[in-house]
Amino acid sequence: MGEAPSNSIPRHVAVIMDGNGRWAEARGLPRKAGHRAGAESVREAVDACLEKGVKFLTLYAFSSENWNRPEKEINALMKLLEQFLRTKGKEFRKKNVRLRTIGRTHLLPESCRSELAKVINDTSSNTALTVILALSYGSREEITDATRRIAEKIARGELEPDQIEKDTIVEHLDTAEFPDPDFLIRTSGELRLSNFLLWQLSYAEFFITEKNWPDFRKSDFNAALEIYSRRQRRFGRV
């Protein structure tokens, strides 16, 4: 199969990385083993994006609802995040990948925030691909925070209510500096958005696979991109 033409490659891919726990449980392993295996799929997704020319990759790494999981699992996830940042940070610098985040990251442990800040700073000038980690992220929370910031501007007299347009909201979202995703991939067969990028995914193409995230490798990512290349995006037009 040949390379898809460049205009059929999505500029921005978003991924709901679902099924790490189920992958582990099916193998009689602790859930944290599934999260570790999922980190390898992240590496392969990044490599696929670099090879195909995708410019932005947003990964739903830890949702605002995930704070309701057992404390033991949350602690394991935070340790895995630190390990991921220490390891992948070096790879990102080498591969010209920039790291950014969205979400209420101030709720993360200080050690995670410190490691995040270091990698974000060290990769800030990289240009091949921007990887956006959604951490402590929920789209309803994001829209709530954006609404609050807009209301504060109105209260200070910096903005009039009748000046609020769609772009006003966009400018106050966590994703203000990034283009909206063109393509959403969700693994593990679930058919819902799970409070992920509700505003930004309004016109995205969806791809759902039954594979759990640890089994979703570069060949699967490339196959999904090939399916995207055959879609016709009309944006309401005929």
Closest CA relative to residue 24, chosen from 82, 63, 76, 65? 76
Residue 129: burial class (beta carbons within 10 Å; 0-12, 13-18, 19+): buried
CA distances (Å), 70 to each of 22, 61, 84, 197, in order?
Answer: 16, 17, 21, 25
Residues involved in catalysis: 18, 66
Residue 123 CB partners (closer than 8 Å, separation 6+)? 89, 92, 93, 97, 98, 99
| 135-155 residues labelled b (16+ CB within 10 A) or e (exposed) | bbbbbebbbeebeeebeebee
Closest CA relative to residue 172, chosen from 148, 196, 156, 193? 148
Closest CA relative to residue 26, chosen from 219, 211, 217, 233? 211
* C-alpha neighbours within 13 Å on the C-beta side of residue 237: 4
Name the helix (H) or strand (E) containing 219.
helix 218-229
Phi and psi based region of residue 213 (left: phi greater than 0; alpha: psi -120 to 50; beta: remaining) = alpha
